Structure 1
Amino acid sequence: MHSAARGYEGFAGRIGEFTSESDPAWRPRPTAQEGAPNIVVMLVDDLGFSDLGPFGSEIRTPFIDGLAADGWLFTNYRTAPMCSPSRAALLTGLNPHRAGFGFVAHIDPGYPGFACELPAAAPTLAESLRAGGYATFMVGKWHLTLESRLHDGADRSSWPLQRGFDRYFGSMDGFTSLHHPHRLVQDNSVLDVAEFPDGFFLTDELTDRAIGMIDELRVNERRKPFFLYYAHTSVHGPIQAKEEDIERYRGHYERGWNALREDRFARQRARGIVPAHAELPVDALADGDRIPHWDDLGADERALFARHMEVYAAAVDEIDQSVGRLLARLDELGERENTIIVIASDNGGTAEGGPTGTRSYFSQFGLHGAVPDGWVGDVPRELSEIGGPRLYGQYPTGWARVSNTPFRSFKSSTYEGGVHAPLVISWPAGAASPGLRDQFVFVSDLAPTLLELAGVVRPEQWNGMAALEVDGDSIAGILADPAAPGREQQYFECVGRRAFVDGEWKAVSPIPPTRAQGAAGGTWELYHLPSDPTETRDRAGHEPERVQALAERWREEAWRNTVFPLDDDGTLHSVRPDTEASLSEPVDLVPFRPPLERFRSARLTVLRSFEVHAELDLEAGAEGVLLAHGDQGGGYLLALDGDQLLLSYNAYGAMRRVRASAPGSGRHRVALRVRADLGLRWSLAVDVDGVEQLRLDDVPMLVGMAPFTGISVGYDYGGPVDWEIYERHRSYRFRGGRILSLRYAPGERSPEDATVLRAIEQEMRDLVD
């Protein structure tokens, strides 16, 4: 146990005991049954270390500023390099790999550290608190369920309600559109809506739902404490915001990313967020080869890049607004004083947008492997559309570097830019000694801390098994005493990139080792963090023995935490269980039902040929959407539009449409045939009663996470594939006849599909036997 946890006695005493009132750190702490604190954990997606006002940002965050001013602001908080691992560690108190999440929940290679399912023997923070008498609520991004188990017929044992939450509303997936969410789940069921009203914005909706859950509890139970886990979908891509908030930042970023980075760094040093001797990394250390010099850009490029950052700033502002609305309601209820509020990020800012950013997010996100020459990563659109519902964007790498000021590198890296994140904790009733804290704290420390502050004991048995021992330790002692020691050691790993912190020293290996080099081998760098917190001076050449010792300690911790195997050949992404094969069998879809879930839809179409066969019984004047798959980020749509048969294809924002005369009244067979060609291309054809009517050749294949919105039949759900159709007809529900049947029939896989299905579950059973 870390020494920080042993300092708790001076903070609040033990349950049933009283500490001398002469001790300025003393506060009485009630049990969970009477007067226990409410707990709100607000987790922000892909937020960089410097993006909040207290950490040096120019972005307007007055409510978070207020929480930091009266609470604790942590300058040495670290998390995992990616989102799902951080969330798993936060909710279990385990290290990410021991919690089953060595990567985000989009792989399933069959290894314990990459199971992408929370262990059954690890009670979540919600489960522990509920067992201790709390009501438990969650809104927002879950991202802790295998994507193959997100569909409506899946085993729900890893869904939020089954892992300790009484109520849930949000997106089970890793992200979604804020204007037109691709799929929302309420409790255990998909939300059945055809379209969203004008002005709908998910951040506002999540806040409404969170406040509603609290209100409904208080109507029925005045004294029961609650735990609210609010997991924002912002500011993960696609980065979107409301136009009135974007307008607030118009012109703020015309000076460019170098100037803004210098400004943030100066404020950080002035406020003590970073020490005065810290250096701002430059040139190659600051990813200079990936970031254009602002002074070398043309006027159009500057305007484009500035607009991307205006949208990002507006999204952060909207997160702060959600904090303000929640605080206002707690004040009205008289519960603000006794509510613990935690605000944190799940990893560093991301460089997914590339050097120039993108207005075509899905053209480059979620791809594993090279794309063909000539692949379009950014389909040009009007600047005013960036941030709005018609465009899925991501800001450029230069702004991500500003987000991570003063650190180097980005999300998924084990340099500080990937793992050093903001953390603010507020608890007016228990703030005995608020202020800055520079102790090393890791994300797995948060669950034990909150349980201790709540007076709830984590169960020793769970699901008929001995509960897994936590890796984190309570930091309650640090809250009480600015001089209390923090964590000493922690390993990090992400796609083979490694790091190990031991006291004042950090060893970093930014490149996965080869198998011949071994787990502790390969290239390692060494940094002395007190004198060089921004990793600018590699000491490995001067202290090879220390490097070797830290590398060996990393290897030992990796074995203890089920980190192996390292992803040195890409198999963690390409190998999947053969139990997923059934998701690629032909499926008959029912008209007007909620869309088929994203991953279930993708198994029918992505990286393969496929056909869709529909039987129609048409009346005169029949019109509307027959099928739609995707959204403004990419997709395809087949409709009867007036007297025409329409095929729309949205190639990451580049629209193509072909039309022919619509079939007349009576029964007809309509088939959409999609052929996978080399070079990640598709050719599409539409037959009516066996005769080809429409054709689109040589279009970019929708790959990676596209089409993101699942298949809807009889209407175009949510984010539309074809905006022109949406403007005239909204979801364009089919009418004037019947869709008698509609079947998706997957065909041959593309030669460029590297997926390998293995009998992983049988192999695991054989090992046990």
Structure 2
Amino acid sequence: MRTKVLAIAAALLAALACSTSMAQTTATSGPAAWPDRLHLPIEPYQKAGKLAPAVRDSDKLDWPTEISAPEGAPNVLLIMMDDVGFGASSPFGGPVPVPTLEKIAREGLRYNSFHTTAVCSPSRAALITGRNHHVASTGIIMEFSTPYPGYHSLVSRSVGTIGEIMTDNGYATAWFGKNHNVPDWQNSPAGPFNLWPTGLGFEYFYGFLGADAHQFRPAVYENTKPIDPYLGKEDTYHFDADMADHAISWINTQKAVWPKKPFFAYYAPGTAHAPHHAPKDWIAKFKGKFDQGWDKQREMTFQRQKELGIIPQNAALNPTPKEYKRWDTLSPDMKRVAAREMEVYAAALAHADYQAGRVVDAIKAMGELDNTLVIYIMGDNGASAEDPTGTGLTSEIAVMVNGVVDKPEYMVKNIDEFGGMWFQNHYSHGWAHAMNTPFQWDKKIASHLGGSRTGMAVSWPGHIKDPGAIRSQFTHINDIVPTILEATKLPAPDTINGFKQVPMNGTSLLYTFDNASAPERHTTQYFEVIANQGIYHNGWMASTTPKRLPWEGRGPTNPDPFNDYEWELYNLTEDFSQSKNLAAQQPQKLAEMRALFKTEAEKNKVFPLDDRYIERVDPANRPQPNKGRTQFVYREGVVRITEPMAADIKNTSFRITADIEVPKNGQGIIMTQGGWFGGVALMLQDGKPSFAYARSHYPEHKYRIKSPTRLAPGKHQVVLDFVYDGGGVGKGGTARLLADGKEVAKGRIPETVPSRFSADETLDIGEDSGTPVVRDYKVPFHFNGRIEKVVIDVKPAAGASPQAMLSLPPGLRVD
């Protein structure tokens, strides 16, 4: 009996404890305290109740309530184009028609004082975090990172992204298109993935990593899986169209399943960054539209900007620097080539805008556009004047990275290839400067508006007082996240995953929606890229005079860029286009502005200033997982290994040893790296071992070594042995093909790729993704046998520097 009494007492005590515990849970986690949006993520809430050993004796409970967005929260579509200057697009007086941006501007607002950081990765880091780019450790593009806090490219967990905030607050989130925010040594399929879009809070990613993409053969990832979406539709594929298809499909799926759940879609085409690729029918639309040349176009755009009222009537057109090539100095043939380059650029941008318009139309068709905030940024920085020739390029990787000199006769003969599959074309710096009308300078020059100011439009039906109007308050790319948060009624979180969050630097723009004359709230903003320094404060701007032209990747460096650089002073309130330098007239004001820059730089991790650019490419500046490694073993199925993570076979002797099993009529890639514009391929063709080497896309730079004898079915070992001449970078060497220990072919490769095979193509085993090294096979050219392993042994050659890029002429472009 005593035992039974004790058991009953214990049960009562347990029940009381359970009841007390649940009462406490209700008190701390009840509706009054839940959800706490300041601390993310947010656990589901469930009202407490009695839990007994049997269901029949327990309270009936409701399902846990999962986090949802605030009532009435809008969808958000954030669009950003790449490398588009203020004076390029039609709503801002430019020659490129962009009806989608026009529609957003007509139904919303245009901002004519919107600013970026002046270069890609930093702008994108500021865009998705709401912080200054150095606070996000992205003071330079990912490939040029250095170990300093503002530049190491490893975004801190205390700098959360808009993806994390929106997902944790009940939004469906996705990122489409360009990502240039993964550290250079982390962008292979081996990860780590914590700084990929899906690691930064976005539920879905469909796009590419790195600086640019071949629009017809892009290296696409779906989440973290590499895919080749062009296969099976090689003649019709273009990434911008594919990207729009995926965005529309994703939005349709979200709304079909969760009609009340808002979405956040970040839509970031790689257009109009080089290579400028567009469908032929779009290029044809612009034939003859730019025969007047870039000097005249700059004047035409300036006049149109005044007609539209997008710039004040008293704004000045800044003169073109004397170092820029003038249109009238070109031969008639090269004028044809240059005009074609701009036709292609315009076609690419107009086509990308059309695809973005399909996304907007799809949202409208499902009845969601009236509840969608659309933010459309026309350029992550100013137009790119990174062409050192003044006549444009047929391949940015070959010319600007690997030192190939474009031949005018080749450009004229192949004029129809501009914009197509077999060129990586980029237009003249003269066109870029015309696209940045009316400002000084271009992309990379963060000190001046030509580098940092781009067009932006915002629409949100029912929330803008005077649709079609212009807003001129100073705005910055770090203002976008705060704007989205205020519009969606979400607070900036104090913590994410337990990490205390750094305060945001940006300011919401909602205060401008109903008041054109509202006083500026973003009153101070520093600028810095490659030691090009600027500071804005209450209508004034101080700027350093550039030490290098936009296309100069390397030059004299300064031990003290803050003090060694000359400073200029502008009153932007009276001088919209930053054209009247007041430094000599107002030295005291300039001194105040410089002191303010120093204060802001210290607060935002800008120091130490570094005016090196190409010099930062030195691998010693970044983690080197392969340092000291001379042997690399790859097995079947290993693909998409990025160049920084792959065996480095440039400027050195190397041996590729492949153990394979060959079927009858053996075919396909054994190993490849790079592609048409620079690369190597070891393969079987008609059963015969073959090696192809591309120094560039020029016909005279394609080298082939091929066995005359087929391999019989069965197991074989195929070896490519390359002995480098040495004596510097990009030198030649002798290649020997061996099958089962016997030499079957031999040949000279008189010159080799000195710096980089590709910015986007990779090392693949058993297939070729992207473009082929030579045109007598078609990708993916899967190996139809079995590959046991491929071993690459690297032997540094005498006289070849590991910092090969530093020995080249100036002009590298990888951003």
TM-score by length of 2: 0.83
Change over 3 Å in CA distance of 1:489–1:81 after alignment to 2: same
- 1:340 Cα shift? 0.7
1:405 matched to 2:420:
no
- The equivalent position to 1:591 in structure 2, one of 632, 636, 639, is 636
**1:509–1:523 CA contact under 8 A, matched in 2:** yes
**In the alignment, what sits opposite 1:673?**
722
One of 610, 616, 630 as aligned partner of 2:660 = 616
Q: Equivalences for 1:144-155 in 2 at 5 Å?
A: 144-155=181-192
What pairs up with 1:592-741 in 2 under 5 angstroms?
A: 592-601=637-646, 603-619=647-663, 621-642=665-686, 644-655=688-699, 656-658=702-704, 659-665=706-712, 667-673=716-722, 675=724, 677-688=727-738, 689=741, 691=743, 693-704=745-756, 706=758, 708-726=760-778, 730-735=779-784, 737-741=785-789
Is 1:509–1:524's contact at 8 Å kept on the other side of the alignment? yes
Change in 2 beyond 3 A, CA 1:132/1:503: same
Distance in 1 separating the partners of 2:593 and 2:241:
46
1:396 is the counterpart of 2:446: no
CA shift, 1:652, in A, is 2.3
Residue 523 (str. 1) matches residue 566 (str. 2): yes
2:216/2:230 contact within 8 Å kept: no
The alignment covers a number of residue pairs equal to 712
- Look up the equivalent residue of 1:188 and give its one-letter code: T
Deviation at 1:131, TM superposition (A): 2.1
Confirm whether residue 484 of structure 1 aligns to residue 518 of structure 2: yes
Residues 737-756 of structure 1: CA deviation (Å, up to 9, x unaligned): 44332112233276343389
1:542 counterpart residue number = 585
Contact 1:634–1:707, Cα closer than 8 Å, also in 2: no
| 1:543-573 superposed Cα distances (whole Å, 9 cap, x missing partner) | 2222222122111111111111221456644
> Counterpart of 2:239?
202
Query: Residues 520 and 132 from structure 1, CA distance in 2 versus in 1: closer, same or farther, beyond 3 angstroms?
Result: farther
Amino acid at match of 2:443: K
1:426 and 1:644, CA in 2 relative to 1: closer, same or farther beyond 3 A?
Answer: same
SS in 1 for 2:454: coil
Whether contact under 8 Å (1:107, 1:146) holds in the other structure is no
| Residue 221 of structure 1, aligned match among 254, 258, 272 | 258
Q: Does 1:745 align with 2:745?
A: no
Q: List aligned pairs for 1:102-121, cutoff 5 A.
A: 102-121=139-158
Query: For residues 249-398 of structure 1, what are the structure 2 equivalents within 5 Å?
Result: 249-282=286-319, 286-291=320-325, 293-344=326-377, 345-354=379-388, 355-365=390-400, 375=405, 380=411, 382-398=414-430
1:567 matched to 2:610? The reply is: yes
Cross-structure match for 2:450? 417
Give me the whole-angstrom Cα distance separating, in 2, the residues matched to 1:128 and 1:705.
38
- Structure 2 counterpart of 1:741, one-letter code: K
Distance in 1, matches of 2:787 and 2:138, equals: 43
Using the TM superposition, name which of 737-746 and 86-95 deviates more: 737-746
Separation (CA, whole Å) in 2 of partners of 1:341 and 1:420: 20
Deviation at 1:123, TM superposition (A): 1.7
Would you say the 8 A contact 1:460–1:466 is kept in 2?
yes
Distance 1:607 1:90, change over 3 A: farther
CA–CA distance in structure 2, aligned partners of residues 473 and 588 of structure 1: 51
How large is the RMSD of aligned CA atoms in angstroms?
2.5
Shift of residue 109, structure 1, vs aligned partner: 2.0
Question: Hey, what does 1:3 align to over in structure 2?
Answer: none
Change (3 A) 1:114 1:335: same
Note closer, same or farther for the CA distance 1:625–1:132 as it changes in structure 2 (3 Å cut): closer
CA distance in 1, matches of 2:568, 2:232: 50
Do 1:41 and 1:228's aligned partners in 2 also have CA atoms closer than 8 Å?
yes
CA distance in 1, matches of 2:91, 2:623: 49
Structure 2 gaps of 5+ residues are 1-36, 38-67, 548-555, 806-815
Name whichever of 507-516 and 432-441 sits farther off.
507-516
Aligned-partner Cα distance in 1 for 2:575–2:252: 48
Deviations 1:594-646 (A, max 9, x none): 33234323x52345443311123445532333322212222122333236543
CA distance in 2: counterparts of 1:518 and 1:331, whole angstroms:
51
Distance in 2 between the 1:264 and 1:674 partners? 55
Give the superposition deviation at 1:37. 0.7
Helix, strand or coil at the partner of 1:719: coil
Contact 1:134-1:227 at 8 Å conserved across structures: yes
Cα displacement (A) at 1:114: 0.6
Give SS of 1:113's match.
Answer: coil
**Cα distance, 1:33 vs. partner?**
3.0
Distance in structure 2 (CA, Å) of the matches to 1:245 and 1:568: 40
Give the superposition deviation at 1:60. Answer: 2.0
Superposed CA deviations along residues 56-99 of structure 1, whole A, max 9, x for unmatched, are 12222122111101101000011101111111111111111011
Q: Which moved more, 1:429-438 or 1:307-316?
A: 429-438
**Local SS of the residue matching 1:661:** coil
Counterparts of 1:150 and 1:650 in 2: how far apart (Å)?
A: 24
| Distance (whole Å) between structure 1 residues aligned to residue 744 and residue 331 of structure 2 | 47
- Summarize deviations over 1:262-281 as a string: whole Å, max 9, x none: 11111101111111111212
CA contact (8 A) 2:674 2:757 kept: no
1:94-109 equivalences in 2 (<5 Å)? 94-109=131-146
Deviates more, 1:741-750 or 1:242-251: 741-750
Deviation at 1:321, TM superposition (A): 0.7
- Measured against aligned partners, the alpha-carbon deviations of 1:177-203 in whole angstroms (never above 9, x if no partner) come to 10001x211112222669452211100
Partner of 1:760: none
Aligned to 2:87: 50
Residues 714-723 or 260-269, more deviating: 714-723
CA shift, 1:323, in A, is 2.4
| Structure 1 residue 428 corresponds to structure 2 residue 461 | yes
**Structure 2 CA distance for partners of 1:606 and 1:550, relative to 1, 3 Å:** farther
